[in-house]
Amino acid sequence: MTASISPDPKASTPLDRTPAGVVPPRLEPAAAPLPWYRQLKAFRTNALTAWSRQAYERDVVPSSFLWRGRVLVNDPDGIRHVLVDNHANYRRTPASIRIIRPLMGDGLFLTEGKLWRHQRQTLAPAFTPRAIPVLARHIADATREAVAGIAARAEEGPVELVSFCQHLALDIAGRSMFSVEMSAHGAGMRRLIAHYAERLGRPYLLDFLLPAAVPNLHDLARRRFQAEWMGLIETIMAERFRGAARSADTPRDLFDLLRAARDPETGAEIPADELRDQVATMIVAGHETTALAIFWSLYLLALAPDIQEGVAREAAGIDLSRDGAALALPGLVLTRAVVQEALRLYPPAFVLVREAIGEDLVGGVPVRPRDLVMVAPWILHRHRKLWRDPDVFDPARFLPDAAPPDRFAYLPFGVGPRVCIGAQFALTEAVLVVAAMATAFRIGLPDHHPPVLPTAVITTQPDRAARFDLVRRTG
């Protein structure tokens, strides 16, 4: 089943249109593989330009980078082997640890082996379906206020939606984590995160060459950032501790659920420093990736007005208030499909890189210790062998009557033992926010708008602060 999209005569930026639908503005891959120095530049500026056309056509692409073997895996069986069947043979790279640890500390995202298994078992009860109603109420409250605020600004002209999505997702993270609005801390958190992504979050040559235990000059700056960032997290936690006493029977937020978590072996609470790192992990991973899922969904709906109208009709008859939000999810079938398709076209986590611990064989390619094995959702989700019309925006791929994609061809939240623990939380948030925005506004792009292209260093961001026309729906 393919969504039919009628051309929009008002669109001033030419779009590719096929019988299958709209093809959003896209990056054209290089015709041939890039030399190592151009790859390094791409990883620092826009990693999506680092891969050539063959990456989107071949099952396995072996190469080398800085004197190390490297394998890009697109074959679903090979991906299953690396991320599930033989996952213990792979670990995060020193470069990724250097860049991510200042933001997330030793939280679930970075830990390995026995410590990771211990943390996962301890945290898992806080991320069961019973937490969805708690989360949905916070999403509904924050979204209602955000929609009212942006409606007033939209009356004055086009509005910028990148920062809107970021601030809304951060507010939701704050409310769902701490039951507090982020007005006092949100601006400081966004400033720190943006500053980090602009400079220290970009990989440098020494990040690839030095072992993780050997610091370079950028690591020293990252440590200073980490002290400030974690200090802010501790301040917010201290305010939360001073708040009203929690009820064991009715948790208000994720913080209550995390504090209620117990070591499955000893019954002990999560230690304070580990709790801080887990909170930092949930805030960074949760709000940044979800904000992008929301933004790209709204952008795609602006390009495909007939699909947007379908979402608006679907959501119009559904209660999205704080009391009805959790029950609304089963009725938002098309909205969920739009978000899933946005996650296919613009996966926030564009690449997963693992370092081999021992020898292996992946897709017929020998892998040696310290070789790099890459699974890139950005490429995988647009691979010519795995998807029909891979560049087309077609939410019908994810409707109930469509054949589901191969489990190892669609990885917006990873797969295997290390699949994102908050995946259902993120999907719930994105679906409810997109439904609310489509119900409130007709979302369009101003005349003579330039195309919005993806750019990736840490996550898949839009290349500019895109502005949208938001026309309030009536009736």
- Gap between the Cα atoms of 362 and 100, Å rounded: 27
- Tell me, what's the pLDDT at 181? 62
Q: What's the pLDDT tens digit per position in 426-449?
A: 999 999 999 999 999 999 999 888
pLDDT mean across residues, the chain: 88
Average of per-residue pLDDT across 410-425? 90
Per DSSP, 82 falls in state: I
| Range of lowest pLDDT (57-61, 73-77, 195-199) | 195-199
pLDDT score recorded for residue 245: 56
Specify the pLDDT at position 128. 81
What is d(CA 86, CA 75) in angstroms, rounded to the nearest whole number? Answer: 15
User: DSSP secondary-structure letter at 105?
Assistant: T
Which of 255-259, 272-276, 347-351 shows the lowest per-residue confidence on average (mean pLDDT)?
255-259
Residue 248 has pLDDT above 60, yes or no: no
Q: For residue 18, what pLDDT is reported?
A: 59
Residue 444, classed as helix, strand or coil, is strand
What pLDDT, in 10s, does the model give residues 20-37?
Answer: 689 999 889 988 988 888
CA 314, 317, 323 angle in degrees (round to 5)?
Answer: 115
* Residue 347 phi, psi dihedral angles, 5° rounding: -65, 125
**CA-closest candidate to residue 296, choices 435, 139, 457, 453:** 453
CA separation, residue 323 to residues 108, 140, 142, 356 (Å):
31, 9, 13, 48
At residue 9, the 3 state secondary structure works out as coil
CA distance 419 to 408: 12
How far apart are alpha carbons 171 and 159 in whole angstroms?
19
CB atoms within 10 A of CB 156: 7
Residues 259, 265, 267: CA angle, nearest 5 degrees: 35
Q: What average pLDDT score do residues 106-124 get?
A: 85
Give the pLDDT score at 161.
96
Q: Which amino acid is at 278?
A: Q
407 falls in which pLDDT band (50, 70, 90)? very high
Least confident of 72-81, 156-165, 175-184: 175-184
**Position 137 pLDDT exceeds 60:** yes
Which two three-digit tokens encode residue 294? 């929301």
Bridge partner list, 443? 470
Q: How confident is the model at residue 2 (pLDDT cuts 50, 70, 90)?
A: very low
DSSP annotation of 305 reads: H
> Which whole-number Å values give the CA distances from 361 to 67, 77, 114, 306, in the listed order?
19, 12, 25, 47
As a whole number, mean pLDDT of residues 396-420 equals: 93
pLDDT in the model for residue 1: 34
Strand partners, 374: 72, 353
Mean pLDDT of 330-357: 96
Contacts of 160 (CB under 8 A, 6+ apart): 465, 466, 467, 468
User: With helix as H, strand as E and coil as C, how does 313-336 read?
Assistant: HHHHCCCCCCCCHHHHHHHCHHHH
Question: CA–CA separation, 249 vs 445, rounded Å?
Answer: 47
Residue 470 reports pLDDT greater than 60: yes
**Residue 8, pLDDT above cutoff 50:** no
Q: Dihedral (C-alpha) 201, 24, 291, 336: value to the nearest 10 degrees?
A: -140
Q: Which of 421, 412, 424, 406 is nearest to 80 (CA)?
A: 406
The pLDDT confidence band at residue 15, using thresholds 50, 70 and 90, is: low
Predicted confidence band at 4 (pLDDT cuts at 50, 70, 90)? very low
Residue 12 and residue 449 in contact, taking contact as beta carbons nearer than 8 Å: yes
Confidence of residue 5 (pLDDT cuts 50, 70, 90): very low
Q: Which among 291, 341, 300 has a CA at the least distance from the CA of 444?
A: 300
SS3 420: coil
Cα(378)–Cα(385) distance, rounded to whole angstroms?
Answer: 14
Collapsed DSSP state (helix, strand, coil) of residue 356: strand
Query: For the residues 158-185, what does the mean pLDDT come to?
Result: 85
- pLDDT higher at 408 or 270: 408
Q: Answer whether residue 466 shows pLDDT above 70.
A: yes
pLDDT one-digit tens code per residue, 361-384: 999 999 999 999 999 999 999 999
Highest mean pLDDT among 8-17, 255-264, 343-352: 343-352
Mean pLDDT of 62-79: 92
CA distance 211 to 101: 14
Residues 6+ apart with CB under 8 A from 323: 137
Per-residue pLDDT, 244: 55
Provide the β-strand partners of residue 470: 443
Of residues 402 and 181, the one with the higher pLDDT is 402
Given a contact cutoff of 8 angstroms between Cβ atoms, the answer to whether 268 and 262 are in contact is yes
Q: Is the pLDDT score of 160 beyond 80?
A: yes
Tokens read off for 374 = 């890459």
Provide the 8-state DSSP code for 270.
P
